[in-house]
Amino acid sequence: MIESNNSEINVDRLIKKIREEVASRQPISGRNLETIKVASVNQTLTINHIENLLHNAQLKSQIRTDFPKKLNRFPFSLSQPLQKLVLKLYSFLFKEQRAINFSLIEAIRESLTLNRKLIDQVMDLQGQVMDIQGQVLNLQGQVKEMSAHLTVTEKHFKEQLHAMDERSIKNDSYLKNDLTQQKRLITLFLEKAQQRFPEPFSPEQLQTLVNEYPHQLDAFYVAFEDKFRGSREEVRNTLNVYLPLIENAKLGTPESPILDVGCGRGEWLELLRESGYSARGIDSNNVMVNECHARCLEVSQGDAIAYLQNLPDHSLGAVTGFHLIEHLPFAVLMKLFDETMRVLQPGGLIIFETPNPRNLFVGSGDFYRDPTHVNPIHPDTIAYIAILKGFMNAESYFFAEQDNRSQLLASSNVKFDTLESYLSISRDFALIGYKP
Amino acid sequence: MRIAIATVQVPFIRGGAEMLAAGLVEAIRQAGHEADVISMPFHFYPVREVQRSMEIWNSENFAAINGYNIDLAICLKFPTFYLKHSDKVAWIIHQHRAVYDLWDTPFTQGLSDSDEGKQLRKEIIQRDTHAFQGFKKVFTIAKTVSHRLHSFNQIDSTALYNPPKLANYFYTATAEPYIFFPSRLETLKRQDLLIKAMTYVKSPTVALLVGEGGQRPHFLQMIEEFDLQQRVKLMGRISDEDMLAFYAHCLGVFFGVHNEDYGYVTLEAMLAAKPVITCTDSGGSLEFVINHQTGLVVEPEPEAIAQAIDQLYFNQKTAAQMGRAGLERYQSLNISWENVVQKLLY
Q: What integer is the mean pLDDT of A272-293?
A: 87
Please indicate, yes or no, if residue A423 is contained in any of the structural domains: yes
Domain hosting A130: range is 11-156
The secondary structure of residue A86, as a DSSP letter, is H
Closest partner residue to A28 among B208, B241, B342, by Cβ?
B241
Q: What integer is the mean pLDDT of A59-70?
A: 67
Check: complex ipTM more than 0.85: no
Residue pairs spanning A and B at CB distance below 8 A: 73
Q: What integer is the mean pLDDT of B276-290?
A: 93
Q: What integer is the mean pLDDT of B268-294?
A: 94
Q: What is the pLDDT of residue A371?
A: 84
DSSP string over A154-212 = HHHHHHHHHHHHHHHHHHHHHHHHHHHHHHHHHHHHHHHHHHHTTSPPPHHHHHHHHHH
Q: What is the rounded distance in angstroms from the CA atom of residue B17 to the CA atom of residue A232? A: 68
pLDDT category, A46, cuts 50, 70, 90? low
Burial of B227 (0-12, 13-18, 19+ CB in 10 A): exposed
In chain B, what residues touch A46 (CB-CB under 8 Å)? 32
pLDDT in tens, A382-391: 999 999 888 9
**Residue B310, SS3 per DSSP:** helix
CB–CB contact B346 A2 (8 Å): no
Using the predicted structure, report yes or no on whether residue A408 has a pLDDT greater than 90: no
pLDDT in tens, B220-255: 999 999 999 999 999 998 999 999 999 999 999 999
Are B201 and B309 in contact, with CB atoms under 8 Å apart? Answer: yes
Q: What is the pLDDT of residue A190?
A: 78
Q: What is the pLDDT of residue B310?
A: 94
Return the amino acid letter for B85.
H
pLDDT in tens, A206-243: 777 666 666 666 767 777 777 667 777 778 888 888 98
A236 and A380 both lie in a single domain: yes
Q: What integer is the mean pLDDT of A161-165?
A: 86
A149 and A233 both lie in a single domain: no
pLDDT in tens, B323-332: 999 999 999 9
Least confident window among A354-358, B184-188, B230-234: B184-188
A264 and A150 both lie in a single domain: no
Q: What percent of chain B is modeled with pLDDT above 90? A: 71
- Bridge partners (DSSP) listed for residue A280: A259
A274 and A387 both lie in a single domain: yes
pLDDT category, B64, cuts 50, 70, 90? confident
Question: C-alpha A259: how far from its chain's center?
Answer: 32
Instruction: Work out the number of other CB atoms within 10 angstroms of the CB of residue B184.
Output: 15
Q: What integer is the mean pLDDT of A368-376?
A: 86
DSSP string over A309-322 = HTSPTT-EEEEEEE
Are B300 and B280 in contact, with CB atoms under 8 Å apart? Answer: yes
CB–CB contact B32 A31 (8 Å): no
pLDDT in tens, A106-162: 888 888 888 888 988 998 998 899 899 999 999 999 999 999 999 999 999 999 998
- Bridge partners (DSSP) listed for residue A433: A350
In chain A, what residues touch B235 (CB-CB under 8 Å)? 15
Burial of B144 (0-12, 13-18, 19+ CB in 10 A): buried
pLDDT category, A281, cuts 50, 70, 90? very high
Are A255 and A222 in contact, with CB atoms under 8 Å apart? Answer: no
Domain count within chain A: 2
Closest-CA distance, A117 to chain B, in angstroms, reads: 19
Parallel, antiparallel or unpaired: strands B2-9 and B34-41: parallel
Closest-CA distance, A9 to chain B, in angstroms, reads: 6
Using the predicted structure, report yes or no on whether residue A366 has a pLDDT greater than 90: no
Please indicate, yes or no, if residue A182 is contained in any of the structural domains: no
User: Which domain-ending residue is among A156, A174, A198?
Assistant: A156
CATH classification at residue A311: 3.40.50.150
Helix %, strand %, coil % of chain A (to 5): 65, 15, 25
Q: Is the alpha carbon torsion for A378, A380, A386, A392 positive or negative?
A: positive
CB–CB contact A19 B230 (8 Å): no
Using the predicted structure, report yes or no on whether residue B168 has a pLDDT greater than 80: yes
Q: What is the rounded distance in angstroms from the CA atom of residue A224 to the CA atom of residue B27? A: 81
Q: What is the rounded distance in angstroms from the CA atom of residue B344 to the CA atom of residue A377? A: 98
CB–CB contact B245 A27 (8 Å): no
CB–CB contact B176 A17 (8 Å): yes
pLDDT in tens, A6-16: 456 788 888 98
Q: What is the rounded distance in angstroms from the CA atom of residue A165 to the CA atom of residue A267? A: 19
pLDDT category, A70, cuts 50, 70, 90? low
Question: Measuring CA to CA, which residue among A168, A184, A428 is closest to residue A289?
Answer: A184
Q: What is the pLDDT of residue A34?
A: 44
A392 and A260 both lie in a single domain: yes
A233 and A139 both lie in a single domain: no
pLDDT in tens, B251-279: 999 999 988 888 899 999 999 999 999 99
- Bridge partners (DSSP) listed for residue B82: none
User: Which domain-ending residue is among A100, A133, A156?
Assistant: A156
User: Which domain-ending residue is among A127, A156, A185?
Assistant: A156
Q: Would you put residue A360 in left (φ > 0), alpha (ψ -120 to 50) or beta?
A: alpha
Q: Is the alpha carbon torsion for B69, B71, B75, B76 positive or negative?
A: negative
- Bridge partners (DSSP) listed for residue A299: A281
A16 and A129 both lie in a single domain: yes
Could you tell me the strand order of the sheet in which A279-283 lies? Answer: A299-301, A279-283, A258-261, A316-322, A344-355, A428-434, A392-402, A405-410
A109 and A243 both lie in a single domain: no
Radius of gyration of chain B (CA): 21
DSSP string over B235-270 = --S--HHHHHHHHHH-SEEEE--SSBSS-HHHHHHH
Which residues are CB-contacts of A57 (< 8 A; sequence separation ≥ 6)?
A101, A105
A271 and A149 both lie in a single domain: no
Which residues are CB-contacts of A284 (< 8 A; sequence separation ≥ 6)?
A214, A262, A301, A302, A303, A304
Q: What is the pLDDT of residue A42?
A: 52
Who has greater pLDDT, A197 or A248? A248
Average predicted confidence (pLDDT) for chain B = 91
pLDDT category, A40, cuts 50, 70, 90? very low
Q: What integer is the mean pLDDT of A51-80?
A: 68
Please indicate, yes or no, if residue A205 is contained in any of the structural domains: no
| Contacts with B, A 30-49, CB within 8 Å | 31, 34, 37, 39, 41-43, 45-46
First and final C-alpha spacing in chain A: 57
Q: Supply the pTM of this predicted model.
A: 0.49
Q: What integer is the mean pLDDT of A343-354?
A: 92
Using the predicted structure, report yes or no on whether residue B282 has a pLDDT greater than 60: yes
Q: Which residues of A216-250 are buried (b: 16+ CB within 10 A; e: fewer)?
A: ebbbbbbbbbbeebeeeeebeebbebbbebbeeee
Q: What is the pLDDT of residue B242?
A: 92
Please indicate, yes or no, if residue A203 is contained in any of the structural domains: no
Q: What is the rounded distance in angstroms from the CA atom of residue B44 to the CA atom of residue B35? A: 28
A128 and A254 both lie in a single domain: no
Among B28, B72, B178, B345, the residue to mutate for chain A (most A Cβ within 10 A): B178
φ, ψ for residue A173, nearest 5 deg = -65, -35
Could you tell me the strand order of the sheet in which B2-9 lies? Answer: B34-41, B2-9, B72-77, B88-94, B137-140, B158-159
Please indicate, yes or no, if residue A1 is contained in any of the structural domains: no
Please indicate, yes or no, if residue A382 is contained in any of the structural domains: yes
Which residues are CB-contacts of B137 (< 8 A; sequence separation ≥ 6)?
B89, B90, B158, B343, B344
Question: Measuring CA to CA, which residue among B94, B72, B124 is closest to residue B20?
Answer: B94
Question: Measuring CA to CA, which residue among B198, B35, B51 is closest to residue B123?
Answer: B51
Instruction: Work out the number of other CB atoms within 10 angstroms of the CB of residue B325.
Output: 18
Who has greater pLDDT, A368 or A53? A368
**DSSP element (H, E) containing B312:** helix B302-314
Using the predicted structure, report yes or no on whether residue A2 has a pLDDT greater than 60: no
Who has greater pLDDT, A27 or B74? B74
pLDDT in tens, B304-315: 999 999 999 999
Among A5, A12, A13, A14, the residue to mutate for chain B (most B Cβ within 10 A): A14
A109 and A235 both lie in a single domain: no
Return the amino acid letter for B149.
L
CB–CB contact A21 B346 (8 Å): no
pLDDT category, B123, cuts 50, 70, 90? very high
Q: What integer is the mean pLDDT of A308-313?
A: 89
Please indicate, yes or no, if residue A90 is contained in any of the structural domains: yes
Please indicate, yes or no, if residue A206 is contained in any of the structural domains: no
Helix %, strand %, coil % of chain B (to 5): 45, 20, 35
φ, ψ for residue B283, nearest 5 deg = 80, -120
pLDDT category, A37, cuts 50, 70, 90? very low
Using the predicted structure, report yes or no on whether residue A204 has a pLDDT greater than 80: no
A246 and A395 both lie in a single domain: yes
Residue B204, preceding bond cis, omega within 30 degrees? no
